[in-house]
Structure 1
Amino acid sequence: MKPALQDLLLDLPTSWNDIPQGGFVKKQVERHLNQWWPTVFGYHLLKVGSLSGEIDSAACPIKHQVNVATQGERQGVLADIHHLPFKENSVDAVLLSQTLDYTHDPHQILREAHRVLVANGYLFITGFNPVSLAGLFKILPGKKHSALKQARFFSTHRIGDWLNLLGCEVVNDQRFIYGALGHQPRHFHNRWLPAITHQYLQRFGAVYLLVARKRELPLTPIKPKWKVKPNLAPVGNVRIRSGIEAKKTT
């Protein structure tokens, strides 16, 4: 397993058009996100990365939606996405669409997303699935500098472990698009193929959608109302190592 942190900075795609079949992938991502947007409520939705900023989230009831990216002309905020310029616990939902695939430090991206999220806030992550035809296409000889070749293809299991360490709970894991993306067969868009692949080969979808929520445990434990009756009572003056003297009984 390759380390998540890389010294080499990736050449980030600034648009879905920079990715093979990018327009088609974007529409499928939007279609699956539209199933979740109605469940999200709050005041602020943060889209991290250029690709996230292009996702149509009009179906989300949150009115204030902000795009933040390192580069791009249409971004609401230009900033280092590894160090978000927002306060802790200030955002109700965060979208990372293919953001982890095009970063040298995915851990830091997730840490920042977790930091700015409110308790029980939603984190939506989409990316390329290594266990798919698209993942196979990545390791085959070809254009090394294409956007699909440079994508990092982290598994959902690995990302789930990172989220668990941060205190996030994965509540849904979906896969979709059953093709190589970089070399799409003509019959891929036939009506019968998506139905068959969804039924029998669901885990091999080229793109995944992870839905997670930030969970926080109470800092102060709640004391139970009931008390346990001691089985043994101290006799006489008894000293213990802590220096506390037990009450004398008569």
Structure 2
Amino acid sequence: MMIAQNVQQWFESSLGQYLIEHEHRYFDQVVANIFGYNAVQIGWPQFDFLRLNRMPLRFSVGSECETSVRAEAGFLPIQTSSMDLVILPHALEFNANPHQILREVHRILIPEGHLVVSGFNPFSLWGVCHHLKSMREEFPWNGDFIALSRLKDWLKLLDFEMAGGRLCCYVPPFKQEKWRRRFAFMEAAGDRWWPISGGVYFLHAIKHTHGMRIIKPDWRNCLDAKRKMVPIARRIIKAAKEKQSSGNSNRIDDLNKS
């Protein structure tokens, strides 16, 4: 209970609000243009990152009380190939088995379904706080930050194709807003001058399923062709026998004359 309370207090802080503002900005832009019937959010259910999506069914899954369906992210009670969109706001770095979560996401997504992931970048000023011993016990620095390149490799192994993404939160994670304002120039120039050092990354991927079409022989046509060949073969054999018998009779007549 104390851990959940500390997490909620962090989100209510100035730095937490700064992060959520950027998260909403990206998710709102991406999910609004993804169409289908079913969408699910796994992680951080207290924030509705599907609010601008127009699918008929939108719900959240997690172990928190705010979720629509309470379940472990690695074992989803969702039918296979039934979801058009899955979003994972920081669900991977705060779970002991992120590979299992991705396998479950791949299972429940339909072919050509969409996955949108957000995560903390370990190679950033935010990642520095993750490596400081004095902050490793605090949220969100207690998570297991996953490098963007590693996440891309995991998704490629599951036959996901990268469709887009970006980085944000280039400003150092100062708790005081006044210090973040002083370094606001880093946010404006981040995408141009140091694009890989954003504190948070977003990744949009699409599930591809390699289909296989079995080529079967057309047995009916083959049998029909064989049936058509039988009379022809019989006529050829009959003609050969008649020719052979006429040849033998001619030889006998020649012998009798001689």
1:169-193: CA deviations, max 9, x gaps? Answer: 1111310001332656734235533
Q: Residue 101 of structure 1: which of 93, 96, 99 is its match?
A: 93
1:6-30: CA deviations, max 9, x gaps? Answer: xxxxx77895644572222111011
The within-5 A match list for 1:107-118 is 107-118=99-110
Inter-CA distance 160–53: structure 2 relative to 1 (3 Å threshold): farther
1:81 equivalenced with 2:69 (yes/no): no
The within-5 A match list for 1:87-236 is 87-181=79-173, 183=175, 186-189=178-181, 192-220=185-213
Q: Residue 57 of structure 2: which of 56, 61, 64 is its match?
A: 64
Aligned-partner Cα distance in 1 for 2:168–2:215: 44
1:51-109: CA deviations, max 9, x gaps? Answer: 1551332211213111111122x211111111000111000000100001100000000
1:131-152: CA deviations, max 9, x gaps? Answer: 1001011112313320122111
5+ residue gaps, structure 1, are 1-10, 224-250
Inter-CA distance 81–180: structure 2 relative to 1 (3 Å threshold): same
Name the count of aligned residue pairs.
211
SS in 1 for 2:32: helix
After alignment, is 210-219 or 187-196 more displaced?
Answer: 187-196
Deviation at 1:222, TM superposition (A): 7.5
SS in 1 for 2:196: helix
- Does the aligned pair in 2 maintain the 1:15–1:54 contact within 8 Å? no
- Does the aligned pair in 2 maintain the 1:52–1:98 contact within 8 Å? no
SS in 2 for 1:209: strand
Identity %: 27
Inter-CA distance 56–166: structure 2 relative to 1 (3 Å threshold): closer
Higher helix proportion? 2
SS in 2 for 1:92: strand
Aligned-partner Cα distance in 2 for 1:152–1:132: 14
Q: Which residue of the partner structure matches residue 47 of structure 2?
A: 54
Q: Which residue of the partner structure matches residue 36 of structure 1?
A: 30
After alignment, is 80-89 or 33-42 more displaced?
Answer: 33-42
Inter-CA distance 113–76: structure 2 relative to 1 (3 Å threshold): same
Aligned-partner Cα distance in 2 for 1:13–1:117: 33
User: Which entry has the higher C-alpha Rg, 1 or 2?
Assistant: 2
Q: TM-score, normalised by structure 1?
A: 0.77
SS in 1 for 2:81: coil
Q: TM-score, normalised by structure 2?
A: 0.74
Aligned-partner Cα distance in 1 for 2:194–2:48: 26
Inter-CA distance 130–209: structure 2 relative to 1 (3 Å threshold): same
Inter-CA distance 184–221: structure 2 relative to 1 (3 Å threshold): farther
Q: Which residue of the partner structure matches residue 24 of structure 1?
A: 18
Moved over 6 A (4+): 11-14
Counterpart residue identity of residue 193, structure 1? M
1:24-43: CA deviations, max 9, x gaps? Answer: 21110110112212321111
